[in-house]
Chains A and B, each alone.
Chain A
């Protein structure tokens, strides 16, 4: 019986055939491993290419590398007994989640040089508010209270200085803030410098410097 593509498993017999193939691949039979890879790779590639197109993953240049990583991790889990076949749908879910982690690792490497916009393109409106972000941090984290103090200090700044601080927290450089706000580089640089100086005063006044300075790399003496 020919082994169908992952999506074409619609009845118990096909499901059993796929399970048997996985069992043989788990025992490291070369032919079974090759057959299984030939079936899984197109599925993973389709999903990754589809997501890349829909989500504009411009940071992803090599889809084949992602597919290879996913299969490597899958086979390692299969051989190590960490994956047990429970049907084609569960297998799809495992592969998709593995592809997610692999893709996100690559996004993280590219993200070091990327900033995020202050506004949400998909849902519209402001996508980041430092006060809401601070309130959403688990209290169990040691620095959670410190983040709330910082957010309070930022909230007490004037509107323009608060905005430049929030954009800085999102990773935006001066040139990106200029492009987003239409201000000149000199204007943004001056605004940012004064925002930092003002924020330092606010952080001192609310006790952040004394209680949280060491945790956040902030010296206690200016």
Chain B
């Protein structure tokens, strides 16, 4: 077994990313030439990457060039601007933002617009009246989700529960007797979270998955039946969301 700290722990000495290094790891690196050399190499590369990072926008053209015809002279002439816009995710986002400002969504004009506004306002008042006359529903203990072969590919939203400062939306769709389950964090819910799906009595873990770039977890081909879905925010040991589901094929 190695006496050196794990590489992941040495990373904290090289970059200021996740809360600072462990003092014991720092003490080891100060005394160990091999680890000190590797940490030094990593630290140097981290500095170079910060300097080279597209996020710093030091490689990007002035925003005044976006949305304009390509310049005929200068460093951004000759197709360079176009190639950069194709390769730089930050400039592409800026260009899309500019396009959204330049091209507003179509609007209704005159009497038709006023009519739509009046109908919408009347509808909102009606819904408000209904909400104030309805008794609050008790929170369901078991929430059934029925799969439907004719549903849209994304499935119907059956339940949306509070998750952190936002919500967790759970939807399901059935295909050939199996069920695909999709859970997605919305609004100010934790962007990075973990899902645990359990079944049986006593409960046993069926699936454990971390969310993707979009804050979603998709589980495909589940057997119909009853499950417990737990959602964990970052660094959480106890679930922030715990709901019982019945998936039907």
Chain A residues within 8 Å of B, Cβ to Cβ: 46-48, 50-51, 54-55, 57, 93, 96, 99-101, 103-104, 107-108, 111, 115-122, 127-129, 132-133, 135-141, 147, 150, 165, 168-171, 173-176, 178-180, 182, 185-190, 192-194, 196-197, 199-201, 203, 213, 215-219, 222
Contacts and interface: CB of A to CB of B under 8 A. Distances in A.
Contact of A175 (B54, B76, B90, B234): B234
21 contacts: A51-B101, A111-B55, A122-B96, A132-B83, A133-B88, A137-B84, A138-B75, A138-B76, A141-B59, A168-B53, A170-B55, A175-B192, A179-B193, A180-B212, A180-B213, A193-B10, A196-B14, A197-B38, A216-B47, A217-B44, A217-B51
A99 B41 CA distance: 44
Interface string B33-59: 000011011101111111111110101
Contacts of B83: 132, 135-136
B41 to A, nearest CB: 4
Contacts of A57: 97
B203 interface: no
Contacts of B18: 173-175, 185, 189
A201 B40 CA distance: 12
Given A136-B80, A136-B83, A217 B50 contact: yes
Contacts of A215: 51
Contacts of A185: 8, 18
B97 A104 contact: yes
A189 B213 contact: no
B53 A199 contact: no
Q: Of B8, B17, B40, B98, which is in contact with the most chain A CB atoms at under 10 Å from its CB?
A: B8
Contact of B87 (A50, A107, A136): A136
A55 B54 contact: no
A218 B192 CA distance: 33
A104 B66 CA distance: 12
Contacts of B63: 100-101, 104
A169 B54 contact: yes
A51 B101 CA distance: 5
B6 interface: yes
Contacts of B52: 147, 150, 169, 216
B191 interface: yes
Contact of B7 (A119, A171, A190, A217): A190
Nearest to A192: B11
A133 B194 CA distance: 33
A54 B59 CA distance: 27
Interface string B105-142: 10000000000000000000000000000000000000
Main secondary structure of the interface of A (DSSP, over half): helix
Interface of B: 6-12, 14, 17-18, 37-38, 40-42, 44-55, 57, 59, 63, 75-76, 80, 83-84, 86-90, 92-94, 96-98, 100-102, 104-105, 191-193, 209-214, 234
A222 B44 contact: yes
Contacts of B94: 104
A197 B234 CA distance: 28
A182 B216 CA distance: 12
B87 A48 contact: no
B11 A189 contact: yes
Q: What 7 A-B pairs have minimum CB-CB distances, sorted nearest first?
A: A189-B8, A179-B192, A138-B75, A196-B42, A200-B41, A136-B83, A51-B100
Given A51-B100, A176-B192, A222-B37, A133 B213 contact: no
A218 B210 CA distance: 35
A203 B86 contact: no
Contacts of A141: 59, 75
B97 A100 contact: yes
A193 B49 contact: no
B42 A193 contact: yes
Q: Of B37, B54, B211, which is in contact with the most chain A CB atoms at under 10 Å from its CB?
A: B54
Nearest to A146: B52
A178 B52 CA distance: 23
A179 B55 contact: no
